[in-house]
Amino acid sequence: MFIRWKYVIAAAIAAPFIGLFVAWSGVFGIGASSGHWAITDWFLHWSMRNSTRTAALGTEVPPLDNPEMLPLGAGHYAQACAMCHGSPAQGRPAVVFGMLPVPPDLKDDIPTWTDAELFQIVQHGVRFTGMPAWPVQTRPDEVWAMVAFLRAMPSMDAERYRQLSGVHADNGGADDGRLTCASCHDENRLNGRSLIPSLAGQSEAYLRESLIAYAQGNRASGVMATAIHGMDATETGEFAAYFAQQPRRPAVPEEGNPRGADIAAGRVLAMTGRPEDRIPACLSCHEKPDGNPLYPSLVGQSVPYLSRQLHLFREGERGGTRFSHLMARAAHELTDADIENLSAYFASGMPQQ
């Protein structure tokens, strides 16, 4: 049968207008209660899997066997994810079964994805669902911690989940979803390898201004952006005052010290800097009894935490108090070895001057 091109062209021109008319008429239902047609549901999931697979190509997966990644991921999961996906301590709430699509039970879903694909989903979210992107796009280290937690979660029991996340249980033993700042930052939960910082003994001024920086987006952290959402000025002040009064856990020499780190070299750099590279002495600002209260104390923080922050400063990704630009400038010429040496030195205990 011969088809005239003018009819094809006319149909192509008319199709968008017909689609607009159908949308304008309101006859096309968008209610979640009716669900999708089976072919629509299949097509959306098929497209999503193909898109995620392609986006994950070339993604370099770091080692995910560090147990300290789990508390960081678990705390965020308890606050931002369990409300839809449930947790090892409590199933999905009834309300989510009215969503379209229904958030999946992750213990069954996670094994079907690779680590690189999970990273893409957590980092960028999924369109046409309730799955949001990570709150900031400049902290892949946090996203990988979440991937490590997700990979471990299917085999995790309720007690292990509560232990990692710090979530509180009600009198019946069920997860009631309550999290506090201490759920992550309590000194008893931290060690020399923790990715979560110790806040005990920091000045109120530094803690308060750091929280403001998180709230205003001047200091990037998807975990903290979620944790402080809705916190008002009074709560910020109470938080700062509470942790400023807490005694810090004594540093354990060599705990968490990376292989090859030279504490003696870190001490020299901290005390004298490296003038030829315009690197000032760290101790000209930090650890001074009468110093600026907006300069944090570094002694006793873990090596991984200090190293991560110095890398962020060097890469221009770390903000904070009104003096953070000074650290960005100071860290610009630090080598990887410098960063590990300095981290090991400050983590080892009180500086020997």
Return the structure tokens found at 302.
């873990």
Quote the CA–CA distance of 124 and 116 in Å, as a whole number. Answer: 12
Quote the CA–CA distance of 342 and 134 in Å, as a whole number. Answer: 30
Position 7 confidence tier, pLDDT thresholds 50, 70, 90: confident
As a three-state string, the secondary structure of 95-110 is HHHHCCCCCCCHHHHH
Alpha-carbon dihedral angle through residues 120, 123, 124, 126, given to the nearest 10 degrees: 70
Quote the CA–CA distance of 216 and 155 in Å, as a whole number. Answer: 37
The pLDDT tens digits for 9-39 are 888 888 888 888 888 888 877 888 888 889 9
Return the structure tokens found at 103.
């958030």
> 189-347: which CATH topology?
Cytochrome Bc1 Complex; Chain D, domain 2 (1.10.760)
Quote the CA–CA distance of 282 and 233 in Å, as a whole number. Answer: 31
Under a CB-based contact definition with an 8 Å cutoff, are residues 146 and 74 in contact?
no
Class of domain 69-179: mainly alpha
The pLDDT tens digits for 315-332 are 999 988 889 999 999 999
Tell me what the mean pLDDT of segment 204-224 comes to: 93
Q: Indicate where the chain has its CATH 1.10.760.10 domain(s).
A: 69-179, 189-347
This prediction's pTM: 0.90
Look at 252 and 114; give whichever has higher pLDDT: 114
Quote the CA–CA distance of 344 and 339 in Å, as a whole number. Answer: 9
SS3 287: coil
Under a CB-based contact definition with an 8 Å cutoff, are residues 281 and 346 in contact?
no
Percent of the chain at pLDDT exceeding 70:
93
Alpha-carbon dihedral angle through residues 292, 294, 300, 305, given to the nearest 10 degrees: -140
